[in-house]
C-alpha cells in the first residue's frame, strides 16, 4: 500500500440522509432498477488519464498538481499503478480505462515505448487477479506527441501512419489480454487546420484503411470486444473528421464498416458539435451505433472541452431514457472522462468528483426507469405519431403510394389537416417529475 490516500476509508453507500462527503448518497450498486443491479446498468469506469496523469493545466497555465509519480519514469509509472488500484478499491469501482502514454512513459523508439506499456500491463494483470476492477477499454494516444501534429492515420507521411499502427497493435493486443471489453479510437488530430495543405478525400481513404487494419487485427487475435469511434467536432483540430455520430456513420457506411464499429459518445463532445448528449444518444441508438459513453460536462461559459464531472441529474435521466429503451449498453459503460479542477489539489478531491458523478448517474438512471415505468411519456409519443401506424401513413411508409397517388388522395378525401400542440412544456414538466 502507498500512503497517497492515507487516512481515507473505502467509500460506501449511506443513503440520502448521510452528510458524509466520502459516501454515496444515491449510488447503491446492488439496488435493483428496472430488473437489473444499478452497477450493471451504469458499468462505471475511472479514466486513468484525467485521474492520474492530468497535471492541472489549462490553456493559459501549466502544472498545478504535485503527484509523487510525476517525472519519475518507469518507477513513477509503477507507483501510479499502485495508487490507481488503491483508488479503484476505495471507490469500489468495477472498471477503468487507459491510454498507453498515460500508464507508461514514451521511450526513444516505438519498441521501447511498447515495452514500457507492456511492463505496466503486467502489473495491471497481477493486480486484476485480486481486484474486482476490470478493464472497460483501452486506447492508444495518437495525438499528444509532436509527430502527430498533422494527424496519425490521416498524416501526409506514411511512416507516421505506420508508427501509429504499431502503437495501436500493441495496445489492442494488451487490451485483449487484460480482458478489455472495448477498444476505442479517438481521432484527436484526424482532421485539418486549413484546407490549403489538405487532400480531404485522400485523408478519408487513409483513415478508412487504418480502421480496416484495426478491425482485421482484432479478429485475427480473437478480440471479441467492441471497436468504438469517439466523435468530436473540433479542438484540437479546427475540423475533425469524426465530427458527430451522424458524420461517423456516414463515413463508416461509405467504406462498408458500419457493421464492425460503434460509437463511444461523450457529453462534452456532443455540446461542441452543437448537440445535446441525448441527441447523440438518440441518433446512435436509432442507427444501432450506441456502444459506450463518456460521462462529463462542459463549462458552457468556456469555449473548449472542460471535462467537469457530471452533476445534472435531469440531463442524465434523458440520457438513460435512450440507453434503457435500447436495452442497455451491453459491453459498454460510463467512463468518467472528467477531471478535478486545477485548484482541487488534495487526493480526496479525486474521490469527491467520482462520488458526485456516480450519485448523479444513479439519480438519472432511477429517474429514467421511473419515467418509462409510468408510461405516460411513451404513450404521448406513440399518440403523436399514431397516424403512421394505419391508413394513409402506413401506406406511405410501405411504398404503396406514389407522389401522384398521395396528391390524388388528398384531393379525393378533401384532406385539410390542422396542426396539433407538441406539448413541450408539459413533457418537460413530466420528465422533471421523476428526477
pLDDT of amino acid 1: 83
pLDDT at 235: 86
pLDDT on residue 303? 76
This prediction's pTM: 0.96
pLDDT given at position 188: 86
Measure the CA–CA gap between 325 and 222, rounded to whole angstroms: 30
Q: Catalogue the active-site residues.
A: 99, 102
What is the structure's pLDDT at 116? 98
Angle at 96 between CA 251 and CA 77, to 5 degrees: 110
> Is the pLDDT reported for residue 149 higher than 80?
yes
pLDDT at residue 300 tops 90: no
Q: What value does the mean pLDDT take over residues 334-361?
A: 98
Q: Is the dihedral of CA 155, 160, 165, 170 positive or negative?
A: negative
Average pLDDT over residues 365-379: 98
C-alpha span between 242 and 261 (Å, rounded): 13
Mean pLDDT of 392-405: 98
Residue pLDDT, tens place only, 176-209: 999 999 999 998 899 999 999 999 999 999 999 9
Question: What per-residue confidence (pLDDT) applies to 135?
Answer: 98
Question: Is residue 164 pLDDT above 80, yes or no?
Answer: yes
Identify the pLDDT of residue 230: 97
| Stretch among 38-47, 65-74, 132-141, 297-306 having the lowest mean pLDDT | 297-306
Residue 302's pLDDT is what? 82
Torsion of Cα atoms, 398 then 401 then 406 then 410, to 10°: -80
Q: What pLDDT sits at residue 178?
A: 98
Q: What number is the average pLDDT over the span 355-383?
A: 98
Q: Cβ(223)–Cβ(183) under 8 Å?
A: yes
pLDDT of residue 275 exceeding 80, the answer is yes
Q: How confident is the model at residue 338 (pLDDT cuts 50, 70, 90)?
A: very high
Find out whether 229 and 249 touch, Cβ atoms under 8 Å. no
* Residue 184, C-beta contacts closer than 8 angstroms, at least 6 positions apart: 97, 137, 138, 139, 228, 229, 230, 264, 292
How far does Cα 343 stand from its chain's mean position?
25
Q: Residue 329 above 90 pLDDT?
A: yes
Q: What percent of the chain has pLDDT over 70?
A: 100
Whole-angstrom distance, CA of residue 270 vs CA of residue 289: 15
pLDDT beyond 90 at 59: no
> Beta 32-33 vs 36-37: how paired, if at all?
antiparallel
Lowest mean pLDDT among 28-42, 119-133, 290-304, 309-323: 290-304
At 256 the pLDDT is 98
Mean pLDDT for all residues in the chain: 97
Q: What is the dihedral of CA 186, 187, 189, 192, to 10 degrees?
A: -150
Amino acid at each position: 500500500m502507498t500512503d497517497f490516500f492515507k487516512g481515507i476509508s473505502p467509500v460506501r453507500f449511506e443513503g440520502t440522509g448521510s452528510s458524509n462527503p466520502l459516501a454515496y448518497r444515491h449510488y447503491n450498486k446492488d439496488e435493483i432498477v428496472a430488473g437489473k443491479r444499478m452497477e450493471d446498468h451504469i458499468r462505471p469506469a475511472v479514466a486513468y488519464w484525467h485521474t492520474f496523469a492530468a497535471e492541472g493545466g489549462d490553456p493559459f497555465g501549466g502544472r498545478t498538481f504535485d503527484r509523487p509519480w510525476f517525472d519519475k519514469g518507469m518507477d513513477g509509472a509503477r507507483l501510479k499503478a499502485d495508487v490507481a488500484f488503491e483508488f479503484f478499491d476505495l471507490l469500489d469501482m468495477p472498471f477503468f480505462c487507459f491510454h498507453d502514454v498515460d500508464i507508461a512513459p514514451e521511450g526513444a523508439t516505438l519498441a521501447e515505448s511498447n515495452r514500457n506499456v507492456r511492463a505496466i500491463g503486467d502489473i495491471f494483470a497481477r493486480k486484476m487477479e485480486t481486484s474486482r476492477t476490470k478493464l472497460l477499454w483501452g486506447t492508444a494516444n495518437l495525438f499528444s506527441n509532436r509527430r502527430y501534429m498533422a494527424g496519425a492515420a490521416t498524416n501526409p507521411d506514411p511512416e507516421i501512419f505506420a508508427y501509429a499502427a504499431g502503437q495501436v497493435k500493441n495496445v489492442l493486443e494488451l487490451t485483449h489480454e487484460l480482458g478489455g471489453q472495448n477498444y476505442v479510437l479517438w481521432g484527436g488530430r484526424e482532421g485539418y487546420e486549413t484546407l490549403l495543405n489538405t487532400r480531404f478525400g485522400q485523408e478519408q481513404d487513409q483513415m478508412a484503411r487504418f480502421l480496416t487494419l484495426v478491425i482485421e487485427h482484432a479478429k485475427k487475435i480473437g478480440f471479441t470486444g467492441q471497436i468504438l469511434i469517439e466523435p468530436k467536432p473540433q479542438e484540437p483540430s479546427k475540423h475533425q473528421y469524426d465530427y458527430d455520430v451522424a458524420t461517423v456513420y456516414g463515413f463508416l457506411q461509405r467504406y462498408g464498416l458500419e457493421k464492425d464499429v460503434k460509437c463511444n459518445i461523450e457529453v462534452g463532445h456532443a455540446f461542441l458539435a452543437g448537440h445535446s448528449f441525448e441527441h447523440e444518444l438518440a441518433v446512435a441508438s436509432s442507427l444501432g451505433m450506441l456502444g459506450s459513453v463518456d460521462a462529463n460536462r462542459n463549462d458552457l461559459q468556456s469555449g473548449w472541452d472542460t471535462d467537469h464531472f457530471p452533476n445534472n441529474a435531469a440531463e442524465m435521466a434523458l440520457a438513460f431514457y435512450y440507453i434503457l429503451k435500447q436495452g442497455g449498453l451491453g459491453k459498454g459503460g460510463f467512463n468518467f472522462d472528467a477531471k478535478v479542477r486545477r485548484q482541487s489539489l488534495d487526493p480526496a478531491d479525486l474521490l469527491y468528483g467520482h462520488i458526485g458523478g456516480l450519485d448523479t448517474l444513479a439519480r438519472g438512471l432511477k429517474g429514467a426507469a421511473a419515467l418509462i415505468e409510468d408510461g405516460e411519456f411513451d404513450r404521448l409519443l406513440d399518440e403523436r405519431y399514431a397516424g403512421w401506424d394505419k391508413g394513409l401513413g402506413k401506406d406511405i411508409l410501405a411504398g404503396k403510394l406514389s407522389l401522384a397517388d398521395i396528391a390524388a388522395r388528398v384531393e379525393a378525401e378533401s384532406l385539410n389537416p390542422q396542426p396539433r400542440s407538441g406539448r413541450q412544456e408539459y413533457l418537460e414538466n413530466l420528465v422533471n417529475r421523476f428526477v
